[in-house]
Amino acid sequence: MYDILIIGAGPAGSNLARLLSSDNSNHYKVGLVDKRRLDQPVDPHRRKACGGLLSPDAQKMLAKLNLNIPSDILENPQIFKVRTIDFDNSLERYYQRYYYNLDREKFDRYLFSLIPDHIDKHVGDVVSSIHVKDDHWEVHLNQGKTILRAQFLVAADGANSLVRRTVLSEYAKPEKYISIQKWYPIASTTPYYTGIFDSTITDYYSWTIQKGNQLILGTALPLNGPHADTPKERLQKFELLREKTANYLGVSLETPFTTEGAFIERSTSVRQLRFASRLNLSSGGKLSMALLGEAAGATSPTSAEGFSYALDTSLKLYESLKQGLEFAELRYDLSCDHIRRNIFLKNLKSPAMYSKNIRNLVMKSGIGSLKDLSFEPTFE
């Protein structure tokens, strides 16, 4: 029986496992499960689709955690501005940005490599179901071939979290999007990444990011609500985006090396965030769990940035668990108030990016943009 079982070894789960491994006062028995073979070379079919941009907030978290990043995790080129293209209003602007361009898979594997051997790692194992059994959690791997038991469950299994869907299905959920990314060969170096706004494609946004001699073209398409498309329409929308972007940027986006997909969750209200739960058992006892990073719904609703939240929630949960298992989930839930405020404020700011008319005014005003540096906007 584990004291703490963590499902998911993305940035949130791996960082929590690493932090718990250093806790010498509680001597927790900790297990970590991930369907990816993070101990082996990259499996292209189990790679997380991501932009791999490390934001200033995520850099701050790494500083707090006393972590640095080996240079072989960085990708060429490092980029210092975003080219914002608004197809709705025929506008574009450049804004300075302070991101690091990373190889996402290497970043995950680096965080995973920091977890010492005394933490049990079940890698290449898919969590197929989660049950409450008497006074503990029972987690079935690979359709029940292996069963793990735990006192305290941590859901760090990302967007579309199985734990959240199973245990907390009655609560409000973030808006769900599917992102499609295609990697195209590119001969030149683009000195920017792009954020593309086009309401004929999505009510969220699309992007290009260069990784070495490849250019990622990606978009996030809604899966629920009035704008949701059929799978066929999604492919048509990606094709439209590809055509428009290639023409606009003057680059060839013809035969992709790879196509990837992943869910993105967007908390448009703080009600959709869920950091912890405490179940009442028929025996009168309680059973606790906590949710980290994207499983909690903690990503930026405006940019989909999520590393900072994944690292922040794992640190907050570690600090709560350090004081003992009893009420750890309640302490953790309270300690996440700053994330609720942060996401609330980001949603307040959202219309400046996602309402066509307000974005038109903001971009036309040039506030914060690099208009002084003799760029030639393509639309004007």
Ligand X SMILES: Cc1cc2nc3c(=O)[nH]c(=O)nc-3n(C[C@H](O)[C@H](O)[C@H](O)COP(=O)(O)OP(=O)(O)OC[C@H]3O[C@@H](n4cnc5c(N)ncnc54)[C@H](O)[C@@H]3O)c2cc1C
Name the site residues for ligand X (rule: CB under 6 A).
8-13, 33-36, 48-53, 55, 58, 126-127, 156-158, 162, 179, 181, 218, 262, 264, 292-295, 299, 304-307, 310
Closest distance between ligand X and the C-beta of residue 167, in Å? 13
Q: Which residues, 6 or more positions from 223, have their beta carbon under 8 angstroms from its beta carbon?
A: 176, 177, 178, 263
DSSP labels for 2-61?
EEEEEE--SHHHHHHHHHHHT-TTT---EEEEESS-TTSS--GGGPPP---EE-HHHHHH
Nearer to ligand X, 231 or 284 (CB): 231
Closest distance between ligand X and the C-beta of residue 332, in Å? 15
111/13 Cα distance (integer angstroms): 9
* Count of Cβ atoms closer than 10 Å to residue 156 Cβ: 32
Strand 120-123 relative to strand 127-133, pairing? unpaired
Nearer to ligand X, 91 or 105 (CB): 105
Question: Of 265, 216, 239, nearest to 51 (Cα)?
Answer: 216
Closest distance between ligand X and the C-beta of residue 44, in Å? 14
Closest distance between ligand X and the C-beta of residue 7, in Å? 6
Nearer to ligand X, 53 or 167 (CB): 53
Closest distance between ligand X and the C-beta of residue 51, in Å? 3
334/295 Cα distance (integer angstroms): 17
Structure-block tokens of residue 141: 């791997």
Question: Of 211, 209, 213, 206, nearest to 242 (Cα)?
Answer: 206
Closest distance between ligand X and the C-beta of residue 137, in Å? 14
Question: Of 13, 214, 262, nearest to 4 (Cα)?
Answer: 13
Nearer to ligand X, 86 or 105 (CB): 105
Nearer to ligand X, 93 or 266 (CB): 266
Nearer to ligand X, 49 or 249 (CB): 49
Nearer to ligand X, 186 or 292 (CB): 292
Closest distance between ligand X and the C-beta of residue 273, in Å? 13
Residue showing the smallest CB distance to ligand X in the complex? 306
Q: Which amino acid type is present at position 251?
A: V
